[in-house]
Amino acid sequence: MVNQLAVVGGGVIGLSVAWRAAAAGYDVTVIDRSPGCGASWVAGGMLAPVTEAWPGEEAALHLGEESLRRWPAFAAALAEDGGDPGLSTTGTVVVALDRGDADQLGVLADYLRTVGREVESVTGRQLRSLEPGVSGVRALLVPGDLAVDNRKLLRSLQAAAIRHGVKFVDDDATEVETGRVRTVSGEVPCEVAVIAAGARSARLHPALAVRPLKGEILRLRARRTSLPPPSRTVRAVVEGRPIYLVPRAGGELVLGATQYEAGFDETVSARGVRELLEGAERIFPSIDEYELVETAAGLRAASVDTLPFIGELGEGVFAATGHHRNGLLMAPVTADAIVAWLDGAAPPPHVEAAHPHRLGAK
């Protein structure tokens, strides 16, 4: 029976694993200099396996849907243990701005139908009556793709972890091996270590082919003179770039996200801000009147096949990382998988596809 668990990384995945494991009775330590920050703090908060889906990525779709099914219970348990994470169930709409986009949307809709997901196609006029101020010639309604307030979520996870006795070590992990995690200023002994260090995971194990994929977001707020934000998450592709507007309670809107291979660069560039604003005003022109509250950049933990790495790397060392564009979505299934392995039980369905050795590296 494992008792001591060390979790390397205090983002949404590390905190979820730590909370669920501590709630299940394990003695848990999280190693992170700034828990609750990083990519999870910058995220848009979409829980969107269907609108992130693309032909050839069925394993990610199935795993994402498995996690989405777990989200309502996860959020309810978290509300009891640490605070309401702000799960929004208003759904998602994917907008086509012109005929070319409408063709692309048709490809997505056909694909989703072939894998058995029903989506509703609406006209531009129907879209405007559902979401005043949102432009488009056609749209797909995807009511099952949800969203969460990433910042409330992180605060709730930290509170829930503390409530269940999770300890936090303010340090950087340098090496993970059976029985301990070495850090810059010492080591943390453990029976099991979980690497949940996001874009920095590759430094901790050779099998973790994770690279940073920079994303910039803007946070905006409606003013008295502007239209309120759309009620649903609105997604589109503008000039080949995916863009989304995710409403938050209280008139805020998260506008994301750029996507660049830029190493570990986390600066917000003028180009990123321009691209996001130019894209957003094509979809929701009223955004020009909004107050610009914040710009931020984060590093997604990208994998070559868009699937995460969840599973045993070696004796007493597990991976829970590489969630690409889907970290918040996949937090519940990842935490449940780790706790199942600790308990000696079977992991949730579809997790096997995310085995960390699937790409051949050991």
Q: Which residues bind ligand GLY (CB under 6 A)?
A: 44, 46, 215, 256-257, 300, 325
The CB-of-224 to ligand GLY minimum distance in angstroms stands at: 30
The CB-of-182 to ligand GLY minimum distance in angstroms stands at: 31
How many whole angstroms separate alpha carbon 308 and alpha carbon 301? 9
Cβ closer to ligand GLY: 27 or 305?
305
Neighbours of 1 (CB within 10 A): 8
Helices and strands: H and E segment counts in the chain: 8, 20
Cβ closer to ligand GLY: 20 or 323?
323
Q: ∠276-279-282 over CA atoms, to 5°?
A: 145
The CB-of-244 to ligand GLY minimum distance in angstroms stands at: 7
Q: Compute the half-sphere exposure of residue 209: CA atoms within 13 Å on the CB side of its CA.
A: 14
> Per the structure block, which two tokens stand in for 55?
């032909």
Distances (CA, A) of 95 to 211, 276, 280, 282: 30, 16, 12, 11
Strand locations in 2-153 (E)? 4-8, 27-31, 46-47, 87-88, 92-96, 120-123, 138-142, 146-148
Cβ closer to ligand GLY: 230 or 256?
256
Q: Compute the half-sphere exposure of residue 115: CA atoms within 13 Å on the CB side of its CA.
A: 18
Cβ closer to ligand GLY: 240 or 360?
240
The CB-of-230 to ligand GLY minimum distance in angstroms stands at: 17
The CB-of-322 to ligand GLY minimum distance in angstroms stands at: 13
The CB-of-300 to ligand GLY minimum distance in angstroms stands at: 5
Cβ closer to ligand GLY: 310 or 328?
328
CA 291 to the chain's CA centroid: 25
Cβ closer to ligand GLY: 257 or 337?
257
Distances (CA, A) of 271 to 100, 219, 246, 260, 295: 25, 16, 21, 11, 12
Cβ closer to ligand GLY: 112 or 243?
243
Cβ closer to ligand GLY: 248 or 325?
325
The CB-of-9 to ligand GLY minimum distance in angstroms stands at: 17
Chain position carrying tokens 């199935």: 62
> Per the structure block, which two tokens stand in for 63?
């795993």
The CB-of-46 to ligand GLY minimum distance in angstroms stands at: 5
- Identify which of 359, 265, 264 has the alpha carbon closest to the alpha carbon of residue 319: 359
